[in-house]
Structure 1
């Protein structure tokens, strides 16, 4: 019995398909705007939390030489949070006035730019930690940033382009920085970080797929609900028309019968022929 050679081409195509984001072209403009809004709200929350992340790291370093970089990093995120707050007020104002298509065209580049900036900020956080502490402190900062990246892999992924920009400017940059931050451990840190990168990317794709499928189900549900409502209204209109027809027909049928009964009654009153009297009274 001959053994079949593995279909390497098919395996490669399936692997490539598994690493591609789900297309959102079939979604309505409203659903795409909803995806962007979900990613933006979670990205905004992540930025707001960064000053709180900086606080324990600043206390950990204290007044050690080089600790000023970490304090500057925390203050930079405070400033960025204020900018994002003002940006969000503008977003809310435009959301009330603009169409979904206009909001996507105007705000998708801005949100993606904010994601890129936030990712760069995480990378700078690892760099800010390195001059003031030993490798143990740098490893602590590295693990903190890894956790932040993993949470954003779930939260930012409804609009996958937002997360990919954040991911490229944060964790992928930190993999490169590991050569400098961990000069004695990079042989271990870099391969592990690369594996972690693949795992996070795959998780982000699955999370994105889930968000898209949820909106697809909602669109189908709304479509079925609209069809049901239209059919219900059409049925109610048909019933009203039937009732109106029966009412009109009944009235039109009763009129000649009523006139005939009056004619018979008048004939009975005027009749003097006893032979036909029983028929008139019947």
Structure 2
């Protein structure tokens, strides 16, 4: 096992040694098969010289039998290589291959020794050259296993030198000297080739290790991403509950507030909750995109109407900070192809990002037809982006240094969501920014060419604008939710609008309230209840009991199969945190039925 130990010192594994032994053994198989054909021309030459042919014919027949035998051995070797461990194969077959090489070396040069004592110098010179060529050819292919080559080389070259000494004469002295020099050169070449094969094997193993490390790191990263997305999916409901309750409670406090000096602080608090809501949505949207849970529904979208609904979300924030928020668009209606939800989320993130990092001046949102495309741009007069940071601006969790100085509350997710949405819709996007002067972010949508008399493709419930003041409403509402903080927020908000609210934590409590004679005009039901019941099943059961009642599912889950089923069956699903303006608009509509 000298060979195996030497390779292990060089950092070569048993599997790499087997690979080298494969090549060496295969070369021996070929050499044994080819050598008999080398003896045939010399046999013919001896026949023409009328010398004895017996030893040469016997040598040829011997090598033909050896060629068959080594092929059978090689098949056994291949079978053992597949069935046994590399170390076991090396222990068993390396000595055998070395012995085969030694016999082969003796056999090749023995042709020189068994030739009859012909005085034809040209004959022996050509035979010497032929044997030297065979040895030189094997020097390249047997050197991966240096122990195999050395046995072959010293056996063949030793017999060749012995044969020359046996026939030594004046002419042979020169040939002997050349053979010694040539043998030294072949051996040096073999050592160099062996070093090259060792280095190549080491590089291949390093490459394999790096590839395996990369694969493992990739799998770990993918698993971490799945774990993170699974956590967000699982925790979504619980995380949205307090934000949902805070939004309702703040709206109720603003409605009941009689102290004008508190109004600015309350509005700031309300805006902060909305910012948390938008940031939380960005995080969940990014998780949905990364986990592949976003379904693309490319359709015709009135981008002007969509933009109006988005601008309405930020107008109050811009006014409170003395910033201008303007929109420029052509007079004609522009219809583009895209996914309405992804388009809306992209525009929300771009406008929110522009307002956040603009301290003075304003934001301009422009719609510009450009041939077959529609260029949608968001301009701002904010801090801009440094040149060295522009290449990373769309990366998740990355925020420029200037952005940190202005607002340290962000998480660097908004633009990452824009980039992912654009890629999902297969639309081009980009940015241009000058540090200290502002930025321009853009997306290019394909224009729809056809009949423009079509309904606007806006997400359900997204085109409502909060009224300045809420007119009183009448009637009763049943809320099925098991979180006391949330039910208290429902009661506080809707009572300010004049609505009587009863809350239930389970189906049993809800039906008990109905049995008492309570008749609501609307039912709002959470999906995940601590009782283990499905909120959707509870809602359907209440609709069967009260067929004239309107209602909806209200949930913080964004990837629930039950909620998807509810939407497919035509039920209204509202996502927490729910905007009070949207809730008021729905209650107004339901109460007038």
Say whether the fold is shared (TM-score over 0.5). Answer: yes
Aligned to 2:56: 70
Secondary structure of 2:93's counterpart equals helix
Task: Select between 237-246 and 72-81 the one with higher mean Cα deviation.
Answer: 237-246
The answer to whether the 8 Å contact 2:25/2:74 transfers is: no
Are 1:31 and 2:13 an aligned pair?
Answer: no
Task: Provide the aligned length of Structure 1 versus Structure 2.
Answer: 253
Aligned to 1:8: none
Aligned to 2:426: none
Q: Using the TM superposition, give the Cα deviation of residue 132 of structure 1 relative to its aligned residue in structure 2, in angstroms.
A: 4.8
Higher helix fraction (1 or 2): 1
**Per-residue displacement from partner, 1:215-234 (whole Å, max 9, x unpaired)?**
10000000111111111111
Aligned to 2:240: 254
In the alignment, the residues of structure 2 paired with residue 243 and residue 165 of structure 1 have an alpha-carbon distance, to the nearest angstrom, of 62
1:270 maps to which of 484, 500, 504? 500
Task: Select between 246-255 and 93-102 the one with higher mean Cα deviation.
Answer: 246-255
Aligned to 1:117: 103
Structural mapping, 1:189-200, within 5 Å = 189-200=175-186
Dislocated runs of 4+, deviation >4 Å: none
Task: Select between 183-192 and 230-239 the one with higher mean Cα deviation.
Answer: 183-192
In the alignment, the residues of structure 2 paired with residue 90 and residue 139 of structure 1 have an alpha-carbon distance, to the nearest angstrom, of 39
Secondary structure of 2:115's counterpart equals helix
The answer to whether the 8 Å contact 1:130/1:138 transfers is: no
In the alignment, the residues of structure 2 paired with residue 231 and residue 89 of structure 1 have an alpha-carbon distance, to the nearest angstrom, of 39
C-alpha RMSD of the superposition:
2.3
The answer to whether the 8 Å contact 2:51/2:116 transfers is: no
1:231 maps to which of 217, 222, 226? 217
Are 1:144 and 2:130 an aligned pair?
Answer: yes
The answer to whether the 8 Å contact 1:67/1:131 transfers is: no
TM-score (norm 1): 0.83
Are 1:89 and 2:89 an aligned pair?
Answer: no
Structure of higher RCO (CA pairs closer than 8 Å, 6+ residues apart): 1
**Structure 2 unaligned regions, length at least 5:** 246-485, 502-582, 586-593
- Distance 1:120-1:281 versus aligned 2 partners, 3 A rule: closer
In the alignment, the residues of structure 1 paired with residue 141 and residue 119 of structure 2 have an alpha-carbon distance, to the nearest angstrom, of 31
**Structure 1 unaligned regions, length at least 5:** 1-21, 272-279
Higher strand fraction (1 or 2): 2
**Per-residue displacement from partner, 1:146-180 (whole Å, max 9, x unpaired)?**
00000011111100000100001101221122111
Aligned to 1:180: 166
**Per-residue displacement from partner, 1:200-229 (whole Å, max 9, x unpaired)?**
000001111111111100000001111111
Choose 1 or 2 for highest CA Rg.
2
